[in-house]
Amino acid sequence: MSTLTQSVSPKQPPAELTPLFEVADLEVSFDNETGPRVQAVAGVQMSVFPGQTLAVVGESGCGKSVTAMSAMQLIPRPPGRVDGGTIIFEGQDLLSLSEEEMLKIRGAKIAMIFQEPMTSLNPVYTIGDQIIEAILLHQKVLPSAARELALQALRDVGLPAPEERIDAYPHQFSGGMRQRVMIAMALACRPSLLLADEPTTALDVTIQAQILELLHDLQKQRNMAMMLITHNLGVVAGNADVVCVMYAGRVVEYARVYELFENPMHPYTRGLFRSIPALHEQKHRLTTVEEVVNDPAEFRKLPGADRGVIPWWPFMPAENRPATVKGLSEYALHQIEPGRWVGCWRTEQVNAYPRSRPLLDCRR
């Protein structure tokens, strides 16, 4: 796999390199009653290949979920609005599809699971009804056959005694079990892409591990692509093939998981890693992200820094900012070396490089 990616030639990408799902320059903004529109996503790029796990990391409000919701066209409009960009899935631009066409994709080809298993299931229907509803929407089967499929889906996610529990209501399940039900419901129609929006955040650590392992197994069985949105760098290290680090609606770093952990290139990524406590160290206090990104020296470590390749950071003091190209956005996702992308200021030098899409067709 990795040999394939190293043979990337910008002129003619091989056919295998067509990603299943690719977000390009996506911009989404929200109406704000008390001020200017809030730019939630401002030029995000990412791609997912079949069977691959893309981890999207970043703090709350950085646009991870908005990106995923945009792919499903589930951004409430108004107040939300897609200002630009494309989201290509199986060759179609999802953003240009009508509501009827989206109904055939949601749940069938792209499924989504959410952070809150406690509230994400409808409390007044049995879990069986809710899974069967999804199956009947997308598969031409009789209700009795749909029930069989729902039972199978529950068996696949390891729910004990599914025949008895299929007629139970969500409140009769624990949080971990509910998340299994959510996964069963999302995967009942065998989607090719799963958008997992912080699937384990609300769960305790042992259940987290179980759920992630379950997702991993199902992904392997079905060669399903997964976009795993998370805060948790441990989850990233354990599950991701490719990592996309986001900040303020933009991608600040995009790399294979091992390379990212070995050598984080953007000061924000470094800040994230340094703020993780380590078992073998004894510290009075941990380094904060602010301490890293407030250090100007951190921004001069990229190869080519002297030639104007400076990591983009919205809170960089004006005197430290390099001169950017007029008339274009100040930010560009810049390929530092093969397989490594870092969000940089769009200086003349950066702008002179050919645009490269973040494509990394690799699996662990």
| Segment interacting with another protein (CB under 8 A) among 134-142, 204-212, 278-286, 290-298 | 134-142
Can you tell me which residue has the tokens 């002129």? 11
DSSP state of 47: E
d(CA 287, CA 294): 12
Q: Under the phi-then-psi rule, with left for phi > 0, alpha for psi from -120 to 50, and beta for the rest, what region is 88?
A: beta
| Segment interacting with another protein (CB under 8 A) among 42-50, 119-127, 305-313, 346-354 | 119-127
Q: How far is the CB of 216 from another protein (least distance, A)?
A: 21
Q: How far is the CB of 71 from another protein (least distance, A)?
A: 11
Task: State which residue, 46 or 186, has the beta carbon closest to another protein.
Answer: 186
- Asked if 134 is part of the footprint of another protein (rule: CB under 8 A), the reply reads yes
Contacts (CB under 8 A) with another protein, residues 13-42: none
Counting Cβ atoms within 10 Å, is residue 287 exposed (0-12), middle (13-18) or buried (19+)?
middle
Q: How far is the CB of 45 from another protein (least distance, A)?
A: 23
Measured in whole angstroms, the distance separating CA 212 from the mean position of its chain's CA atoms is: 15
Largest CA distance in the chain: 69
3-state SS assignment for residue 164: helix
Quote the tokens at residue 167.
């007629």
Binding mask 72-111 for another protein (x = CB under 8 A): x-x------------------------x--xxxxxxx--x
| Segment interacting with another protein (CB under 8 A) among 48-56, 129-137, 143-151, 321-329 | 129-137
Quote the tokens at residue 336.
């530092």
Task: State which residue, 94 or 350, has the beta carbon closest to another protein.
Answer: 94
DSSP state of 213: H
Task: State which residue, 37 or 171, has the beta carbon closest to another protein.
Answer: 171
Contacts (CB under 8 A) with another protein, residues 178-207: 182, 185-186
- Asked if 171 is part of the footprint of another protein (rule: CB under 8 A), the reply reads yes
Can you tell me which residue has the tokens 């320059």? 25
- Binding residue for another protein (CB under 8 A) from 7, 119, 221, 263? 119
- Asked if 133 is part of the footprint of another protein (rule: CB under 8 A), the reply reads yes
**φ and ψ of 305, to 5 deg:** -65, -35
- Binding residue for another protein (CB under 8 A) from 47, 53, 120, 179? 120
- Asked if 169 is part of the footprint of another protein (rule: CB under 8 A), the reply reads yes
| Segment interacting with another protein (CB under 8 A) among 30-38, 55-63, 82-90, 133-141 | 133-141
β-sheet with 92-93: strand ranges across: 38-48, 21-30, 80-89, 92-93
d(CA 109, CA 318): 46
**φ and ψ of 53, to 5 deg:** -110, 120
d(CA 22, CA 6): 20
Quote the tokens at residue 158.
């390891």
Pairing outcome for strands 242-247 and 53-57: parallel
Q: How far is the CB of 307 from another protein (least distance, A)?
A: 45
- Asked if 123 is part of the footprint of another protein (rule: CB under 8 A), the reply reads yes
| Segment interacting with another protein (CB under 8 A) among 114-122, 207-215, 217-225, 323-331 | 114-122
Task: State which residue, 170 or 249, has the beta carbon closest to another protein.
Answer: 170
- Asked if 132 is part of the footprint of another protein (rule: CB under 8 A), the reply reads no
d(CA 309, CA 133): 52
Contacts (CB under 8 A) with another protein, residues 264-283: none
Task: State which residue, 18 or 126, has the beta carbon closest to another protein.
Answer: 126
Q: Which helix (H) or strand (E) holds 111?
A: strand 110-113
- Asked if 342 is part of the footprint of another protein (rule: CB under 8 A), the reply reads no
Please list the residues that pair with 331 across neighbouring strands.
345
Residues engaged in binding another protein (CB under 8 A): 72, 74, 99, 102-108, 111-112, 114, 116, 119-126, 133-134, 137-138, 169, 171, 182, 185-186
